[in-house]
Chains A and B, each alone.
Chain A
Amino acid sequence: MSFSPNIVGFACQWCTYAGADLAGNLRCKYPPTIKLIRVPCSGRVEPEFVLEALARGADGVLIGGCHFGDCHYKEGNYKTSRRMIMFKKLIEDAGFDPRRFRLEWISGAEGKRFAEVAEEFTKELQELGPNPIKGGTA
């Protein structure tokens, strides 16, 4: 398995981003496939951002947010969750494999969980192969 997927991760600064930081402090091992973009809240991530990342050559997109009840802005992650239920169906209906998109709740204390998710997602994408829309700009 030589294919190394390119994952864009949108990480909430209050949880998943801190979780990734913790993963580093804990010396957790995970593949160098994920590029994190820090966002104020997972609710800040527009479905358009995900499409754009996929259109510009990402093989997979991960959104990391706080567990329910933990959102710094009270309900940002609830909105993300609703949006992404519909967005997943949208890309599926438009002919795009929804497995390339993932939404995970990872708190700042779950460094290990972050490493696991990165590892799992990388494996899954390796099985799926490169993104059919690879290359070019939107």
Chain B
Amino acid sequence: MADKIKFAFLLAGGCAGCEMALVDMAEKLVDALEHLEVVFWAPTVADVKYQDLEAMEDKSIDLAFVDGMIRNSENAHTVKVLRAKSKTLVAFGACATLGGIAAMGDMHSKEELFNEAFKDTFSTDNPEGVLPTPQYLLDGKYDLTLPAFTDRVYTVDQLVEVDYFVGGCPPHHDFVAAAVQAIVAGNLPPKGSWLTSGKAVCDVCKRNPAAKGQERLEVGEVFRTVDGRPDPDKCLLQQGYICFGPVTQGDCGASCLNVNIPCRGCGGPMPGVKDYGARCISAIASSLKDDATAQKMVDKFNNMAKLVYRYSFSSGILNQKLPPKEKSKA
């Protein structure tokens, strides 16, 4: 390859864990960097400013990654700018593709969220009750601005066109390496696809009863992760620990299951799933024994929506369609 691939990485509303996932590739990243020229990696790694990005020519970046959801006007602006400047845009990680953890905030009103974050939390010292305001005139002459809160959390593809999706919170580094190698080699599926093995978490999970020739039994008990300690070798769902492996992409290699923790769906929906939470309910309920068990599950978990939409509320049909007022009523 004569020219290096011009590469950009933008952190929108996320936690920078996805950047860590890329850095976690370690020596594989060093190999990949022979083919990549990093032109923009902000606000985390490289010393470039948003203005530098704005000054670039349109379509001058070959490959751009975005991680993080769109939570405020700054995220929305930078994502739009990055889209204009890049040829290929990859939504990277659970937030960018599905909304992520922050999307659960959409089930509360802005006031509720702000009060919790800036007033009511135990460790907060804010006697005057100051809340972030998008615009503030200091001393009558300094016009200060802050990014404004959006009406809900958006995924990247709800705002701009996205070429590829990579799930995971964060994406597993082995899988990131495979994805980056595929991109460098130009070995890519049609645009708009998820870069995924297409296998479910159960498919790659060592506990899968089918892999051991065992029969699948109905689940008569429901446990939360705080209830006792599951058998480290048996399928968690079979033991009654609710696990979302059946409907989640298993590019993580069932990492959580390897440490005795049930899957919560950060890997993103299996191909063909339109609404992750609804499909989750469908899959889990079918393995429960009877109505009483289903009722037990409903009673046991405080909030069904926050359980099944832990990483994906923004991509869910209800969040996209319901007016914000309705959602915070719940």
Quick check: is A28 within 8 A (CB to CB) of the other chain? no
- Across the interface, which residues of B come within 8 angstroms of A85, CB to CB? 285, 291, 294-295, 298
B278, A82: Cβ atoms closer than 8 Å: no
Quick check: is B326 within 8 A (CB to CB) of the other chain? yes
Quick check: is A35 within 8 A (CB to CB) of the other chain? no
Q: How many A-B residue pairs have CB under 8 A?
A: 115
Q: Is the interface of A mostly helix, strand, loop or mixed?
A: helix
Interface residues of B in 60-82 (CB under 8 A from A): none
B286, A93: Cβ atoms closer than 8 Å: no
B304, A82: Cβ atoms closer than 8 Å: no
Interface residues of A in 77-92 (CB under 8 A from B): 78-79, 81-83, 85-87, 89-92
Listed residue (B278, B286, B306) with the most chain A CB atoms within 10 angstroms of its CB: B278
B303, A82: Cβ atoms closer than 8 Å: no
Quick check: is B323 within 8 A (CB to CB) of the other chain? yes
Quick check: is B288 within 8 A (CB to CB) of the other chain? yes
CB distance from A60 to the nearest CB of B (A): 15
Sorting the interface of chain A by its residue count into under 10, 10 to 19, 20 to 34 or 35 or more gives: 20 to 34
- Across the interface, which residues of A come within 8 angstroms of B298, CB to CB? 85-86, 89
A51, B285: Cβ atoms closer than 8 Å: no
Quick check: is B153 within 8 A (CB to CB) of the other chain? no
User: A51 to B275, alpha carbons, bound, how many Å?
Assistant: 8
Given the interface contacts A51-B278, A95-B326, does A86 sit within 8 Å of B291 by beta carbon?
no
Q: Which of A78, A93, A133 contacts B107 (CB 8 A)?
A: A93
CB distance from A8 to the nearest CB of B (A): 14
Q: Closest chain B residue to A96 by CB distance? A: B318
- Using CB atoms and an 8 Å cutoff, list the residues of chain B in contact with chain A: 107, 273-275, 277-279, 281-282, 284-286, 288, 290-291, 293-295, 297-298, 303-306, 308-309, 313, 316-323, 326-330
Closest 6 CB pairs of A and B: A95-B327, A93-B305, A133-B321, A47-B278, A83-B285, A94-B305
- A51-B275, A90-B305 known; 6 new pairs, CB 8 Å cut-off, are A79-B286, A83-B286, A90-B281, A94-B319, A138-B274, A138-B320
Q: List 11 A-B contacts (CB under 8 A).
A: A47-B282, A54-B317, A81-B294, A82-B293, A85-B294, A86-B285, A87-B281, A89-B304, A94-B309, A94-B316, A133-B322
